[in-house]
């Protein structure tokens, strides 16, 4: 973890640079400050775990990093490009090519089979046959060769999350975001999913940012930050 006080431009190894971001939600007349001047850097190959209690701002931070939301103030750089203030078309392109996002609720399309769900992001870029071939490889990677033709409702929660992981890997993103990916899974499935992340990080070199509120899951990361009231209150490098 680096101090952001003086550094405002990303270095060559910085996949993510967050500079003093603020985010406030307005719920009727009530304003909730979810992020208060948060800064951080994620380097290539990092497996960053973000923890914190409910309402600490970890999911809000994740949404800003995953370009699903925009901060009110501050700057975010992804793969060297400043994304704050980017037009939606460019953000969409970045989500497609540079980011992989894994949701707590899996976010699979109900009418597509596992293989088709995985193919979907690459269909924007490649021919169908290439997509199919690549999607099969990704399903193999997460151990779901046999379930390729299953619809999401024919898969267990763990299997659905593995499909979501395979989908997030399709366009070889620079960074994978996983927002409480094990929250809806049983222990065994959660373990399998975490081992996949570990393998992707250690063997394939993927940069991963994962939010969790399970303390025992922090051992999978090489870095941990803990949020409270929208600020980093604790940081630790494991390795």
Partner 1 sequence: MKTSKRIPLFLIVRHVRHSNKWTLALIVFLMAIAFINLLFINSLFSGVIESNQSQLINTRTGNVMITPAKGSDFIDNPAALVKQVDKVPGVQAAAAETLVPGSIEFAGTRGNFDVTAIDPAQEKKATTVSEKMVTGSYLSPGDTEGIILGDIIAGKKENDTDFAPNGIKVGDTVNVITDSMVHPFQVRGVFKTKFNGTDDRAFVTNQGLNKIAPALKGKATAAIVRADKRGNETKLVADMKAAGVPGTLRTWQQLAGAVREITSSFVTINALMTVVGFFIAAVTIFIIIYVDVTHRRQEVGILRAIGVRSPLVVMTYVLQAAVYSFLGVALGTALYFAILFPYFKAFPFKIPIGDVSLSIIPWDYLFRAFTVVAVGMLSGLIPALIGTRRPILDDILNR
Query: Which positions touch partner 1 (CB under 8 A)?
Result: 63, 66, 68-69, 88-89, 92-97, 99, 101, 103, 105, 107-113, 116, 120-121, 123-128, 151, 167, 171
Q: How far apart are CA 43 and CA 135, in angstroms?
A: 27
Closer to partner 1 at the Cβ: 134 or 223?
Answer: 134
State the angle between helix axes of 157-169 and 187-202 in degrees (0 to 180), rounded to the nearest 10: 20
Rounded to the nearest 10°, the torsion over CA 134, 138, 141, 146 is -100
Minimum distance from CB of 59 to partner 1 (Å)? 9
| Backbone CA torsion sign across 105, 110, 113, 118 | negative
Q: DSSP secondary structure string, 104-155?
A: TT----TTS-HHHHHHGGGGGTS-HHHHHHHHHHHHHHTT-GGGTT--GGGS
Q: How far apart are CA 71 and CA 57, in angstroms?
A: 12
Minimum distance from CB of 231 to partner 1 (Å)? 22
State the angle between helix axes of 157-169 and 128-141 in degrees (0 to 180), rounded to the nearest 10: 130
Minimum distance from CB of 38 to partner 1 (Å)? 18
Minimum distance from CB of 93 to partner 1 (Å)? 7
Closer to partner 1 at the Cβ: 82 or 126?
Answer: 126
Please choose, from the candidates 180, 142, 183, 177, the residue with its C-alpha nearest in 3D space to the C-alpha of residue 163.
Answer: 142
Minimum distance from CB of 33 to partner 1 (Å)? 18
- Edge to edge, what strands does the sheet with 47-52 contain? 99-102, 175-179, 207-211, 47-52, 223-228, 231-237
Closer to partner 1 at the Cβ: 47 or 106?
Answer: 106
Q: How far apart are CA 203 and CA 81, in angstroms?
A: 27
- Copy the structure tokens of residue 209: 């940012």
Closer to partner 1 at the Cβ: 108 or 211?
Answer: 108
Closer to partner 1 at the Cβ: 32 or 124?
Answer: 124
Determine which helix (DSSP H) or strand (DSSP E) holds 34, and give its type and residue range.
strand 30-43
Minimum distance from CB of 216 to partner 1 (Å)? 27
Closer to partner 1 at the Cβ: 1 or 107?
Answer: 107
Minimum distance from CB of 90 to partner 1 (Å)? 10
Closer to partner 1 at the Cβ: 28 or 89?
Answer: 89
């Amino acid at each position: 973890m680096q101090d952001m006080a003086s550094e405002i431009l990303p270095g060559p190894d910085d996949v993510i640079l967050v500079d003093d971001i603020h985010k406030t939600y307005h719920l009727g007349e009530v304003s909730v400050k979810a992020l208060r001047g948060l800064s951080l850097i994620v380097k290539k190959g990092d497996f960053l775990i973000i923890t914190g209690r409910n309402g600490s701002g970890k999911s809000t931070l994740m949404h800003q990093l995953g370009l699903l939301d925009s901060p009110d103030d501050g700057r975010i750089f992804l793969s060297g490009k400043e994304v704050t203030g980017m037009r939606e078309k460019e953000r969409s392109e970045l989500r497609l090519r540079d980011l992989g996002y894994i949701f707590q609720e899996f976010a699979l399309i109900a009418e597509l089979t596992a293989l088709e769900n995985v193919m979907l992001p690459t269909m924007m870029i490649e021919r169908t046959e290439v997509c199919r071939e690549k999607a099969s490889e990704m399903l193999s990677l997460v151990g779901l060769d046999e379930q390729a033709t299953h619809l999401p409702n024919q898969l267990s929660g763990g299997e659905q999350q593995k499909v979501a992981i395979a989908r997030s890997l399709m366009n070889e993103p620079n960074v994978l975001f996983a927002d409480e990916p094990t929250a809806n899974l049983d222990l065994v499935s959660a373990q399998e999913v975490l081992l996949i992340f570990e393998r992707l990080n250690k063997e394939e070199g993927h940069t991963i940012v994962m939010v969790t509120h399970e303390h025992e899951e922090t051992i999978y990361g090489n870095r941990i930050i803990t949020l409270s009231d929208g600020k980093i209150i604790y940081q630790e490098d494991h390795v």
